[in-house]
Amino acid sequence: MEDAVEGPAPAAQRLDPRYKTVLRWRAAIAGLVLTALATGAELILATAIDWRPGPAMLAVALLALAAVIVMPGRRYRRWSYAHRDEALEIAHGVLVRVETSVPFGRVQHIDIARGPIERMCGVATLALHTAGTHNSVVHLPGLAVDDAEAMRAEIREHIRREQP
């Protein structure tokens, strides 16, 4: 749990810095897929009509490169969380800012998820399942594995104390 940042309340925490690498890998994979699709579309156009291959593929590749270099840092900086006595507060969003407060009394169970990229980078996603149907799962990605496990244990202990 690193340095304080602007977020839902004073003493909000940033995600683990390794999460930027996760975001970069995800953007690179998406960029490769889009570049391959643009290349295929250009080859089809080149055979179907008198189209000179290159412009669309180059534009998509440049956008993908920008998405890998610029966007992960911006997305990372817009995430923050605060582990309070009675709730977990999460704030995120580049264009649309979302601030969520999850009271521990509403948590039904807690998961820690780690996909292949997250495992490679040493981070995890904490998923809080709450009562209700709308937005009943709240995800907090980019936590160090030890921090995610410690938060899960603390929230479980809080839930045990609250149960009659």
* 155 & 124 share domain: yes
* 57 & 92 share domain: no
Q: How many domains does the chain have?
A: 2
* 59 & 134 share domain: no
CA–CA separation, 90 vs 111, rounded Å? 16
* 135 & 158 share domain: yes
Residue 30: Cβ within 10 Å count: 13
C-alpha distances (whole Å) from 131 to each of 106, 114, 134 are: 6, 23, 9
* 107 & 63 share domain: no
pLDDT per position as a tens digit, 128-163: 998 877 778 999 999 999 999 999 999 998 888 877
pLDDT per position as a tens digit, 24-78: 999 999 888 887 887 787 777 777 776 666 676 777 778 888 888 888 999 999 9
* 85 & 11 share domain: yes
- Looking only at Cα atoms, what is the longest distance across the chain? 75
- Domain extent for 155: 4-15+81-162
